Chains A and B, each alone.
Chain A
Amino acid sequence: MVKLSVKDVYVAKGQNLKVVSKEEKQTVYHSKKLNLWYGEHHALKDIDLEMKENEVTAIIGPSGCGKSTYIKTLNRMVELVPSVCTQGEILYRERNILDNKYQVEELRTKVGMVFQKPNPFPKSIYDNIAYGPRIHGIKNKKVLDEIVEKSLRGAAIWDEVKDRLNQNAYGLSGGQQQRICIARCLAIEPDVILMDEPTSALDPISTLKVEELVQELKENFSIIIVTHNMQQAARISDKTAFFLNGEVIEYEATNHIFSTPTDKRTEDYISGRFG
């Protein structure tokens, strides 16, 4: 059996070849007619998006277009804002997460998040990584040690911090802190990782490292990334959704959207005419 990489699948799809169902990727997220209001402000309008597993989905668009709001809805962090009101459905693995019966802690255990500004806890590097497993009941020191090493290796930062695991994470540089946050997220082995402009506060070299990391991570995780940086979306994502004023204008394979956008507005944005 030939193992197809994600790219092959898209090439195959582009050529209108039917891909065998075994290789068909499962849908991770599916939002149906999702609407969201902040008080009176209608921030998301009828969002219909489907995201597949082991892919990197990028969400681009100008400031205030609702892209951050959307990604925060996927793990219901948006509920921290008072006066938020949603309508429609978001199916995560075929269950509606907007249903009140869906335990938000359970959802967030499956769906990790990396934020715009690195936000490690003011604790040691070790305790930062071990925090997630600990609150979910893993107490065994040996198991924790293993998780910490594996997660730090997974976030490509083990070699830089292995000799100072007991130091405060705030002693690290911004880029290292962000990779610590990614490692913290990996420690509970989530299914999906949401990234909300993870490199916007980082220097170019740290950005490159995080981007490389995203490429590696998609082998094992589904990644949804909001980014301001269109080149970044082009470099690292498989599919790209373009948001404008709370609507999805276009959602296509990345190479398609950047080479032959269907919508005029997408073209204008990508070519830098606004935003």
Chain B
Amino acid sequence: MVMKQPAEKLSVQELIAQSRSKRSKKVVEKIMPILLFITALISVLTTFGIVFTLIFETIEFFTKVSVIDFLFGTEWLPFSGKEPMYGILPLILGTLKVTFIAVLVAVPLGIAAAIFLSEYASDRTRRLIKPVLEVLAGIPTIVYGFFALTFVTPVLQEIIPGLKIFNALSPGIVVGIMILPMIASLSEDAMTSVPNAMREGALALGSTKLEVAIKIVLPAALSGILASVVLAVSRAIGETMIVSLAGGATPKFDFNVTDSIQTMTAYIVQVSTGDAGYGTTIYYSIYSVGFTLFLFTLLMNLLAHFISKRFREEY
């Protein structure tokens, strides 16, 4: 078959020049950056909007309650009709109790899982387990909540006789299970990105696999691992549904984990779902608690950012 030559020879450069001269392309090139900028602006403005709302309503709250009482008071009794008390320490302590237990559960398990996945598991095993971890991360927290209340608490009550139905232990453990995939997955990413050349260098000196994992890979990935832990802690602090369902609603200033507690988030839920009237002190109190919570998580995120920059072992 003989290829027919086109009557007019068109060079590629000419075709490109033709398409270039089209108006529509120029317009799109001009408009797109503006559109993209607007979408970026929306997310930034929303964030500022939320923060400003928090700040203004919190300031309003502090015209009714003194800052000192709020920060250092050890009683949180907003519903006691005659003399309501707004000392946030019991709520913070409740949050910290749950977070601490969650960290105790999630950090060792998460890092161990990460070591297994990055250093020992075959490609096939990893391909199987990683999606499962991600599914675990996708379970709605309300499901974790009634899992804590209807399964973990009864089981724990068998083991620990004095355990109340609402307590810090059960939601703590379940929050730990919730943040575990996050630690495992992010730590695994950090460890997998340690160059293989380093493992080889260590193996060539006669190290065992475990020595390579513990003494070379773990320290080299430390910044990523610490950052994952801090991010997970920040999620544990902000966790709401699990603690609302299984933690109870009695803020207490003590270190008991078997008794009912209340966290900052659970208090906000309690007030928001109840019928506190607009403009009452209780109404404004949720903003002050929310603002405190925001400061905590902001601090954690900044810390994670700082750690991942500061402790990066260069390679």
Binding site for B on A (CB under 8 A): 75, 77, 80, 105-109, 112-113, 115, 117, 119-123, 131-132, 135-136, 168, 170, 181, 184-185, 188
Max chain A Cβ within 10 angstroms of own Cβ: one of B195, B201, B219, B313:
B201
Q: What residues of chain A lie closer than 8 Å to B219, measured between beta carbons?
A: 122-123
Max chain A Cβ within 10 angstroms of own Cβ: one of B200, B204, B219:
B204
Number of interface residues, chain B, beta carbon within 8 A: 20
Q: What residues of chain B lie closer than 8 Å to A109, measured between beta carbons?
A: 205-206
Q: What residues of chain A lie closer than 8 Å to B203, measured between beta carbons?
A: 77, 80, 108
Given contacts A122-B219, A123-B313, A168-B313, contact A188 B204 (CB under 8 A): no
Nearest-neighbour CB distance to chain A for B198, whole angstroms, equals 6
- Mask for B198-223, Cβ within 8 A of A = 1, else 0? 10111111111001000110011000
Contact check, B200 vs A119: say whether CB atoms are below 8 A apart.
yes
Q: In the complex, which residue of chain A has the Cβ closest to the Cβ of B313?
A: A122
The CA of A108 and the CA of B203, in the complex, are separated in Å by 8
Contact check, A80 vs B207: say whether CB atoms are below 8 A apart.
no
Contact check, B206 vs A131: say whether CB atoms are below 8 A apart.
no
The CA of A135 and the CA of B211, in the complex, are separated in Å by 8
Q: Counting CB contacts under 8 A, is B314 at the interface?
A: yes
The CA of A71 and the CA of B314, in the complex, are separated in Å by 29
Contact check, B198 vs A122: say whether CB atoms are below 8 A apart.
yes
Q: Counting CB contacts under 8 A, is B34 at the interface?
A: no
Q: Counting CB contacts under 8 A, is B37 at the interface?
A: no
Nearest-neighbour CB distance to chain A for B132, whole angstroms, equals 23
Q: In the complex, which residue of chain A has the Cβ closest to the Cβ of B199?
A: A80
Q: Counting CB contacts under 8 A, is B197 at the interface?
A: yes
Nearest-neighbour CB distance to chain A for B166, whole angstroms, equals 47
Q: What residues of chain B lie closer than 8 Å to A185, measured between beta carbons?
A: 204-205
Nearest-neighbour CB distance to chain A for B66, whole angstroms, equals 51
Q: What residues of chain B lie closer than 8 Å to A119, measured between beta carbons?
A: 195, 197-198, 200-201
9 CB < 8 A contacts A-B: A77-B203, A77-B204, A105-B206, A108-B204, A115-B197, A121-B201, A131-B202, A135-B206, A188-B206
Contact check, B197 vs A117: say whether CB atoms are below 8 A apart.
yes
Going nearest first, the 6 A-B pairs with the smallest beta carbon separation are A122-B313, A109-B206, A119-B197, A113-B204, A108-B206, A132-B205
Q: What residues of chain A lie closer than 8 Å to B215, measured between beta carbons?
A: 131, 135
Q: Counting CB contacts under 8 A, is B315 at the interface?
A: yes
Q: What residues of chain B lie closer than 8 Å to A168, measured between beta carbons?
A: 313-314
Contact check, A188 vs B205: say whether CB atoms are below 8 A apart.
yes
Contact check, A122 vs B220: say whether CB atoms are below 8 A apart.
yes
The CA of A123 and the CA of B194, in the complex, are separated in Å by 13
Q: What residues of chain A lie closer than 8 Å to B206, measured between beta carbons?
A: 105-109, 132, 135-136, 188
Given contacts A121-B216, A122-B219, A135-B215, contact A75 B204 (CB under 8 A): yes
Max chain B Cβ within 10 angstroms of own Cβ: one of A107, A113, A120, A122:
A122
Q: What residues of chain A lie closer than 8 Å to B211, measured between beta carbons?
A: 135
B314's contact among A112, A122, A131, A136, by CB below 8 Å, is which? Answer: A122
The CA of A80 and the CA of B199, in the complex, are separated in Å by 10
